[in-house]
């Protein structure tokens, strides 16, 4: 296994193998970690908007748009945080479309164009923005349309190879396969039969899911970027060293920064053919009915996708309530 010098922190070592992304709306906190990109979602923006140090930002957005409905104001808040983040990261920021539109392709496209328009009105090149869409059939169809118009998409709430294959076929710029939530589901399912030694590390179900997607994409020449997301601990992150990108919370970035243990490459495109053959993975040809059936037959992916959309809807409504005060 290749590894980098242990005199560097694990975060510095990881950056040599993988593009490190900050998963937070708290842009002041991310500065310490010098990430390349940053990702946000309704839950992260809600959390940041409630912090005292961001009240001036929230109030300035409200003052600039008197009389605007809280629903419309949310877009301006998302972009305001995104603009501040872009002053810190040299790369891209991901901004999420309202999760309540997850099953409406047309409305998703309209909302995505509106968000891009807001960024462009501030002089930001659309190449620096990733529009986050849920990995539903409708979200993936919207991504296909948006990518054709030069609006790049980050497909989120992604829990299965079926979703990943459909996103690749739609030419999505990037996918965010979730790790921790897959592990959570399997841990709950196994209950007392779960064992950290047997079901953790390289065998962690969230980790193996991303590895499978990585090998599928690399073997079949799919250029869509893979960004592991939703981590519960640094072990999950380190097991995916070598993935295209990894988006990591400030708490886990700090843990990586404070450790000097050696980091090894775990994912390598050169091994994709062997891995695909060993796992018997074949190319997935997915029309809408195939996609829905295969996703439906994956209980974990179906449940976690539905739960994720519900939770983002709730937090968007909480953000609206906050802005209505």
**Residue 1 confidence (pLDDT) above 80:** no
In a domain, 5, yes or no: no
Q: Check the CA dihedral 314-315-319-322 and report its sign.
A: positive
The pLDDT of residue 2 is: 59
Structural domain of 59: 10-324
| Cα-to-chain-centroid distance, residue 325 | 30
Q: Range with the lowest mean pLDDT among 149-153, 266-270, 278-282, 308-312?
A: 278-282
In a domain, 74, yes or no: yes
Specify whether the CB–CB gap between 14 and 255 falls below 8 A: no
**Residue 3 confidence (pLDDT) above 80:** no
In a domain, 2, yes or no: no
pTM of the model: 0.96
In a domain, 111, yes or no: yes
Q: How confident is the model at residue 7 (pLDDT cuts 50, 70, 90)?
A: confident
Q: What are phi and psi of 20, to 5 degrees?
A: -95, 130
| Structure confidence by residue, pLDDT tens digits, 183-228 | 999 999 999 999 999 999 999 999 999 999 999 999 999 999 999 9
Question: How many domains does the chain divide into?
Answer: 1
The pLDDT of residue 254 is: 98
Q: What are phi and psi of 41, to 5 degrees?
A: -150, 170
**Residue 6 confidence (pLDDT) above 80:** no
Beta strand residue intervals within 115-238, DSSP E: 129-134, 153-158, 174-177, 225-228
SS3 call for 283: coil
| Structure confidence by residue, pLDDT tens digits, 221-260 | 999 999 999 999 999 999 999 999 999 999 999 999 999 9
In a domain, 215, yes or no: yes
**For residue 278, what is the domain's CATH number?**
3.20.20.70
Cα–Cα distance between 202 and 18 in angstroms, integer?
A: 18
In a domain, 152, yes or no: yes
**Which positions are catalytic?**
132
In a domain, 189, yes or no: yes
In a domain, 299, yes or no: yes
Enumerate residues 6+ apart whose C-beta is below 8 A from 121: none
> What is the mean pLDDT of the segment spanning 162-166?
98
């Amino acid at each position: 296994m290749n590894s980098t010098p242990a005199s560097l922190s694990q975060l510095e070592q990881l950056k040599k193998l993988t593009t490190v992304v900050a998963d937070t709306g708290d842009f002041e906190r991310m500065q310490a970690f010098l990430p390349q990109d940053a990702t946000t979602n309704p839950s992260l923006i809600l959390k940041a908007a409630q912090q005292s140090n961001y009240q001036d930002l929230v109030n300035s957005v409200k003052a600039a748009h008197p009389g605007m409905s809280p629903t419309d104001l949310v877009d301006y808040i998302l972009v305001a945080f995104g603009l501040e983040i872009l002053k810190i990261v040299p790369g891209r920021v991901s901004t999420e479309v309202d999760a309540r539109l997850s099953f409406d392709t047309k409305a998703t496209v309209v909302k995505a164009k509106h968000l891009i328009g807001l960024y462009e009105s501030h002089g930001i090149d659309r190449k620096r923005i990733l529009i986050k869409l849920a990995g539903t059939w409708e979200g993936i169809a919207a991504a296909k349309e948006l990518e054709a118009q030069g609006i790049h998409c980050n497909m989120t709430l992604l829990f299965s190879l079926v979703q990943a294959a459909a996103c690749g076929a739609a030419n999505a710029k990037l996918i965010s396969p979730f790790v921790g939530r897959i592990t959570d589901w399997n841990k709950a399912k196994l209950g007392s039969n779960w064992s950290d030694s047997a079901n953790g590390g390289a065998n962690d179900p969230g980790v193996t899911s991303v590895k499978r997607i990585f090998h599928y994409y690399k073997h079949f020449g799919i250029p869509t970027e893979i960004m592991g997301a939703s981590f519960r601990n640094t072990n999950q992150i380190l097991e995916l060293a070598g993935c295209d990108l990894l988006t990591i919370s400030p708490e886990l970035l700090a843990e990586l920064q404070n450790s000097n243990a050696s980091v090894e490459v775990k994912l390598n495109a050169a091994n994709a053919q062997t891995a695909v053959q060993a796992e018997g993975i074949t190319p997935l040809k997915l029309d809408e009915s195939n996609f829905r059936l295969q996703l439906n037959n994956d209980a974990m992916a179906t449940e976690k996708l539905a739960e994720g959309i519900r939770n983002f809807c709730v937090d968007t409504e909480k953000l609206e309530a906050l802005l209505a005060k």
